[in-house]
Amino acid sequence: MPLTIVILAAGQGKRMRSDLPKVLQPLAGRPLLSHVIATAQELEPSSIHVVYGHGGERVRDALAATPVSWVLQAEQLGTGHAVAQAMPQVDDGDLVLVLYGDVPLIRAATLRQLVAAAGPKNVALLTVELDDPAGYGRIVRNARGQVQRIVEEKDAPARVRRIREGNTGVMVAPAKLLRRWLARLRANNAQGELYLTDIIAMAVKEKVKVAPLAAESPGEVLGINDKAQLAAVEAIYRARRAEALLTAGVTLVDPARIDVRGTLAVGRDVQIDVNVIFEGTVRLGDRVRIGPNCVIRESEIGDDTEVFPNCVIDRATIGPACHIGPFARFRPSSKLARGVHVGNFVEVKNSVLGEGSKSNHLTYLGDAVIGARVNVGAGTVTCNYDGVNKSQTHIDDGAFIGSGSMLVAPVRVGARATIGAGSVITRDTPPDKLTLERAQQVTIDGWQRPTKKA
């Protein structure tokens, strides 16, 4: 049967104490809701409907690029009412899977199992065994272990509260039956809401089979209501990503101190030290070593390259066998060939460095095209900005830039040219020659140091 997914995301999330709607709170740098949508997409459903709340325009705007259909639930009258808002857009022949915008760790594999247990005459329900089921609806089974109904905690007598099997809220039901059941929901309960959970008793009454599936771990179905739960889920997410890296053969000095917030592709024998954050799509070649305290975003790092501690690398392509840092910063659009060294307190932006070139200390390289085997001395600045326009600096193969030089762009340093230390270079320099620009050094005879006035 075709699958339709309905994601409930209309809740306010008051306990977040935040101006940002709950489902937009970030997990691994992305809105909670976008994690759920990504998992939903893995199931390749015929459509995804997101039920959003009054004033939730911000939610729609934040995820405007996501191909889902948006359904407004103007008033939050309960989970059953929320699902009902999406039903006009759902075909009778579909299976409907209900997910939650604030339950972001649910795995596609679990959902596939759940969907497989549902059918035209079957409802499937994801449950979870909990040490402390407080706050959850309880799954009531009969003597033969068959699910009879779900009782919300606020409506539950003590005997039911003692049940430790909780309702995750995630379920799959055939659209045709679901539509009929939703229309019959009544708000005659402790919260005065239309409970989605009441459809289970209706199914049982009509002899529709309810297939329970127990979630593998409570972590997967954790709902987020406050910042403490958000942090707990972030920790679980972090651990999952670290574990996947370990499985892939990466050496992690401490799996609890690495954050993979995007897609990280790794070669063989990669080593990653503590407190490293990866964002966006990052690719590390074979035998790459990353030192502690680095942030690496949307970048590629070639085989055998070592990144020393405290580097920030953003949208750079770094070749093989390079030495980066400590304390190097790459701003977007830089490309390094093989064997390049970029060292301490060097900032590189929108620049190309050819094979074997070195810039080891205290330097700014912006909009620079640097050839092979160039040596850039300490304290060199490519003066690429005149306050209005950006200009390029070219440094050709084998050139040597003396320390403390200002290269005022647009300018070109010829191949194998040497620039004397402390020069301000404003015109192109010829290849193979020494060019320098320097005031005469003078010594004042008979000069005396000032003395402290009485």
d(CA 6, CA 111): 13
Write down the least CB distance from residue 56 to ligand UD1, Å: 10
361 is catalytic: yes
- Look up residue 200 and give its DSSP letter: H
Please select the residue that binds ligand UD1; options are 152, 259, 279, 300, rule is CB under 6 A: 152
Nearer to Ca ion by C-beta: 13 or 325?
13
SS3 28: coil
Is 77 a binder of ligand UD1 (CB under 6 A)? yes
166 binds, among ligand UD1, Ca ion, none (CB under 5 to 8 A by kind): ligand UD1
x/- binding map, residues 25-64, to ligand UD1, per CB under 6 A?
Answer: --------------------------x-------------
Binders of Ca ion in range 209-228 (CB under 5 A): 223
Which two structure tokens, joined as six digits, stand for 220?
């997967």
Tell me the two tokens of residue 59: 């939610």
Residues 6+ apart with CB under 8 A from 9: 23, 33, 36, 50, 51, 52, 53, 56, 59, 100, 101, 102
- The site string for ligand UD1 over 214-253 (x = CB under 6 A, - otherwise) reads ---------x------------------------------
Q: Which stretch binds ligand UD1 (CB under 6 A): 6-14, 40-48, 332-340, 443-451?
A: 6-14
Amino acid at 237: Y
CB atoms within 10 A of CB 251: 12
State the minimum distance, in angstroms, from the CB of residue 82 to ligand UD1: 4
C-alpha to C-alpha distance for 170 and 168, rounded to whole angstroms: 5
Q: Which of 31, 166, 320, 371 binds ligand UD1 (CB under 6 A)?
A: 166
Does 167 help bind ligand UD1 (rule: CB under 6 A)?
yes
165, containing H or E segment: strand 165-174
Closest approach, Cβ 51 to ligand UD1, in A, equals 5
Q: Is the CB of 24 or the CB of 353 nearer to ligand UD1? A: 24
Dist. CA 12–CA 73, nearest whole Å: 12
Q: Which is nearer to Ca ion, 101 or 267 (CB)?
A: 101
Q: Does 314 bind ligand UD1 (CB under 6 A)?
A: no
Q: What is the dihedral of CA 71, 72, 77, 83, to 10 degrees?
A: 0
Tell me the CA end-to-end span of the chain in Å, nearest whole number. Answer: 97
* Two structure tokens written together for 412: 């070109």
Place of tokens 């392509």: 317
CA 139 → CA 167, 205, 222, distances in Å?
Answer: 6, 16, 17
Q: Which of 11, 325, 379, 402 binds ligand UD1 (CB under 6 A)?
A: 11
Q: Report the site for ligand UD1 in 271-310 (rule: CB under 6 A).
A: none
Q: Which positions touch ligand UD1 (CB under 6 A)?
A: 8-11, 51, 73, 76-79, 81-82, 100-102, 136-137, 150, 152, 166-169, 195-197, 223
Q: Which residues are catalytic?
A: 361
